[in-house]
Structure 1
Amino acid sequence: MSTRIAFTEDQFKPLVAALGNGDETAMVVATSLVGAATTAADSAKAGGHVTLLAQVITQVPKGAYLERGPRGLSISSAGWVPAFRAAVAKGQVPVFVHTHPGGLPEFSQYDDQVDCDLAVAARAFGAPYYAAIVISGTPDHPGVAARLYDLGDTFTPIAPDHTVVDAVRVTGSGLRLYLPTGSTNQHGTIESGEEKVSAFDRQIRMLGQDGDRSLKQVRAAIVGAGGTGSAVGAQIARLGLGEIIVVDDDIVTEPTPTRGHGMTAADLNLPKAEVLGDHLNAIGLGTKITKINKPLHDPDAIAAIAHADVIFSCVDGHGARLILNRWAYAHIAPVIDVAVLITPVETADSNRKVEIEQRVTWVAPGAACLLCRGRVDATLAYAENLDPETRKRLAGEGYVQAAETPRPAVVTLTTSVAALGATEFLLRLTGLGPVDATEMLLRSHLGELRRNARPPRPGCFCTSADFTGRGTRTPYLDLVGAWS
């Protein structure tokens, strides 16, 4: 079972700041559950991935501490029971977080007993899972350990089994994965003479072992396997990611090989997701490749990307872009929107000119969304998310815009903007690049490259604490009518 607990940067900062208090600090986090059963009765039957998305953080009141010092604490039931009950009443999973200032990211024997008691209580309240997190070290160099208890039918109150959480994901201006101490990933090792040499030796020289270890744990999704999506895939697969999910319901047409990496004229009429996925598999560096030959709104596609740590939006239209725009906040996972717009310009002297705009936008909690920036047309998005027959009928009646004709696309431009997007991901994950700007604009016909940052628009959904971390609900992402 693969597990994640996700926080926004703004949620996580106060937890880390508490390391500066000297004494241990505790809080309860109410989290949305994605990817498993939602009742204790059948949660033991749930397999696959489990992700908990932080929504509400409740500090333990000062008066609820019975004992508190730099090496331990004791809390009365008044310090945690109300928060546990409130979380379960809303269908959320309670997570108990406490700090070990100056210590190691490890659970003590006392923590083991406390978590056993809290897991029993959470199950009695009706929670399907209980999780615990220890944050240690200093505010500047924190360490994190986390574990998850399945409270289903297999749960035993005495010494209950738990799963070590694979990563605690923090998303905001950057992307950080806090991994268990000692976690490794051996894929990408090759034989060279009498010694084993990592295939990733050259990138380790830049990123260090920690940066490379983070890459090996990343689960990335690419939505759109055309010119930009295939170019993104060809690059991030060579970084040695843990998994890449390719989502596209289109097929290879005659123009596709002119810009699609890994696609040839022999692939005509084959699914793009299959062709690109096979190409990425053939690279042979150990990355798991999942191919989804379905539209983004299909339940199988949604399930496949539900636990992605990052999503590359490489789509042409507004419909899928609108969905992914909301996804970044609901699932606390950054979306890197990669786009190219080529506009031929007619001149009075009949000379051919073009305007070339390439864009990479980092969409994540705390940053302006694509709607705030005017990068998505909601009216067009609605039309594109209709089934083809309904759109054709409504277009004929003048209610929506008819399907657009294909826009210009050139391999050098789709590939170069994909490289910018992949690099943006790499630098934000490893902390090696600037994070103040959240959008990069390249106007190639003028030789201009600009970066900008924009705060969220007041009243936009992306500023809502209720929406952030809500995960999968009905109607999905509040997009009524977006699904067939």
Structure 2
Amino acid sequence: MMPTTLSLPSGLHAQLFNHLFPGDGLEAAGILLCSRVPGPRQRFLARELLPVPYEACGRRTATRLTWPGEYIEQAIERAQGDELALFLVHSHPSGYPNFSPLDDDSDAQIMPSIFEAYGARHGTAVMLPDGRMLARLYSTEGAAVPIDMVSVASDDLHFWWQDIIDTPCSRPVAFTSAMTRELSRLTACVVGASGTGSIVAEQVCRLGFGRVILIDHDHVEEKNLNRILNTVRSDAVEKRLKVEVLAQRANQYRDSSYIKAVGANLLTREAILAAAEADILFSCVDTHRGRSVADRLATAFLLPLFDVGVAIPTREATGGRAIAEVIGRIDYVQPGKSTLFDRGVYTAASLQAEALAESDPVAHREQVDAGYIDGIPEQAPAVISLNMRAASACVMEFIARAYPFRHESNAGYARTQFMLAEGLEEHVAESEFPSRMMPDLANGAKEPLLGLPILKATKRGA
């Protein structure tokens, strides 16, 4: 079963922590307003914090807290327009890693009045002094169900599991079977199933992700058999969808199917809503528009984004052109921090130029195929070794964030770029990139999806 999760952007988590632990050792409270992800999986995305002022609380001690209902009324008023869920959060300064009997009694009094005023699924949560959180969800009948995991994507990826929250040092060590066991509880989405995408997909499948979502609308062609893993000539002859081929082969690794193959363009409702069910997003696309959509996905659905790209620029040389450099780039994007757009991976001008090229599909396909080696048109570039290097670095970046093993802080590795001709590897810190206000942060499935009119729901929901 896919876990029920509550996700917070790192900035909001820090804001909540600073309010709940002001340094006086007393409990404090706030209310998270959360959007929901539609579909079979329950994901709640924290969009806004309504802090309860300390002076408004009738009683604050190290183990008890009372506060006026007017703040719940304010939260309901803000939430109703977008049908947001409320999570009432308070601190446990003592570090008690569970809901206390006092919490149970308080919820039994408060939750029915919330449901009476605003009929939606709501919950409560507790934050511990080290920032860990646990949460539970209430039904309208008053039954409480634990939220399986609370997650925060910051310089490190934090996954706080309800069933092991009482063990502070419960994070698995990188590259161990304990890491594999935790990955079996997570869902990865890989967008793009070609050169780098098929290799990323192979890794996340072999690493043991419990569920893998593959998104790509293209079919296998003979000219790309030299760089798409798990494809054979018959796949090209039959023009099979890349995602279906990869899913069929990878599903044979295990006793039961675990891959969802989405044979659709990323800029469709089907693809967006499928990706929204994931915990991690890997972008392995070869277009600027694809990266812009991945950017929006990460922002709206609070998905940590790992984007990989390769390039082989050339130079003029005697007798023709020669390789100037062999480049691989991996960007890690935290929801709410600098985006791929902020980092110049794509621009408004590049999106416009690409849109014009797409008006001529043949020319655009040739442009994409020639994109590996600048200045040398090549229909079947022999780049699988480069793709493997870059794809491996992309997945390793995820492992370094989820199961930190670097001697330095992950904050210094927002971008990694290697140049094989010069034998260099460079790293850029998150602080070196500009960032903007993001009004779409944690908007979830608010219409139109991703703020794009083209994705607006029709009467048929298509």
Q: Do 2:220 and 2:242's aligned partners in 1 also have CA atoms closer than 8 Å?
A: yes
- Mapped pair 1:26 → 2:18: no
Aligned residue pairs total 434
Query: Which residue of 1 is the match for residue 168 of structure 2?
Result: none
Query: Which residue of 2 is the match for residue 444 of structure 1?
Result: 420
Counterparts in 2 of 1:299 and 1:480: CA distance versus 1, 3 Å: closer
1:58-111 CA-to-partner distances (Å, cap 9, x unmatched) read 211123212221112122213433223322244321110111123332112222
- Mapped pair 1:252 → 2:220: yes
Aligned pair partner of 2:267 in 297, 303, 313: 297
Q: SS where residue 94 of structure 1 aligns?
A: strand
Query: Which residue of 1 is the match for residue 138 of structure 2?
Result: 149
- Mapped pair 1:235 → 2:203: yes
- Mapped pair 1:177 → 2:159: yes
Deviation at 1:253, TM superposition (A): 0.7
Query: Which residue of 2 is the match for residue 82 of structure 1?
Result: 74
Q: Matched residues in 2 for 1:205 and 1:67: separation?
A: 42
Counterparts in 2 of 1:16 and 1:371: CA distance versus 1, 3 Å: same
Query: Which residue of 2 is the match for residue 270 of structure 1?
Result: 240
Query: Which residue of 2 is the match for residue 60 of structure 1?
Result: 52
Counterpart residue identity of residue 15, structure 1: L
Q: SS where residue 325 of structure 2 aligns?
A: strand
Aligned pair partner of 2:446 in 473, 476, 480: 473
Counterparts in 2 of 1:53 and 1:405: CA distance versus 1, 3 Å: closer
Counterpart residue identity of residue 60, structure 1: V
- What TM-score does the superposition give when structure 1 sets the normalisation length? 0.82
Q: SS where residue 277 of structure 2 aligns?
A: coil
1:27-70 CA-to-partner distances (Å, cap 9, x unmatched) read 1011122216xxxxxxxxxxx11221112112111232122211
Q: Matched residues in 2 for 1:113 and 1:275: separation?
A: 53
Q: Do 2:336 and 2:438's aligned partners in 1 also have CA atoms closer than 8 Å?
A: no
Q: SS where residue 296 of structure 1 aligns?
A: coil
Deviation at 1:385, TM superposition (A): 6.4
- What TM-score does the superposition give when structure 2 sets the normalisation length? 0.85
1:345-390 CA-to-partner distances (Å, cap 9, x unmatched) read 33134363343111000112353211112111334435656996xx
Of residues 106-115 and 268-277 in structure 1, the stretch that sits farther from structure 2 once superposed is 106-115
Counterpart residue identity of residue 437, structure 2: S
Q: Matched residues in 2 for 1:287 and 1:360: separation?
A: 30
1:314-360 CA-to-partner distances (Å, cap 9, x unmatched) read 00111111111122222111111111112343313436334311100
Deviation at 1:271, TM superposition (A): 0.9
How high is the sequence identity, in percent, across the aligned residues? 26
Q: SS where residue 128 of structure 1 aligns?
A: coil
Name stretches of at least 5 consecutive residues in structure 2 with no aligned partner: 166-170, 373-380, 457-461
Counterparts in 2 of 1:285 and 1:256: CA distance versus 1, 3 Å: farther
Q: Matched residues in 1 for 2:120 and 2:86: separation?
A: 10
Q: Matched residues in 1 for 2:240 and 2:150: separation?
A: 38
Deviation at 1:6, TM superposition (A): 1.0
Deviation at 1:118, TM superposition (A): 3.1
Query: Which residue of 2 is the match for residue 45 of structure 1?
Result: none
Query: Which residue of 1 is the match for residue 145 of structure 2?
Result: 163
Q: Do 2:27 and 2:63's aligned partners in 1 also have CA atoms closer than 8 Å?
A: yes
- Mapped pair 1:11 → 2:12: yes
Let me know the Cα RMSD of the aligned residues: 2.9
Q: Matched residues in 2 for 1:414 and 1:291: separation?
A: 22
Name stretches of at least 5 consecutive residues in structure 1 with no aligned partner: 37-47, 184-202
Deviation at 1:179, TM superposition (A): 0.8
Q: Do 2:6 and 2:151's aligned partners in 1 also have CA atoms closer than 8 Å?
A: yes
Q: Do 1:105 and 1:181's aligned partners in 2 also have CA atoms closer than 8 Å?
A: no
Q: Matched residues in 2 for 1:300 and 1:481: separation?
A: 13
Q: Matched residues in 2 for 1:386 and 1:216: separation?
A: 43
Q: SS where residue 358 of structure 1 aligns?
A: strand
Aligned pair partner of 1:431 in 388, 404, 409: 404
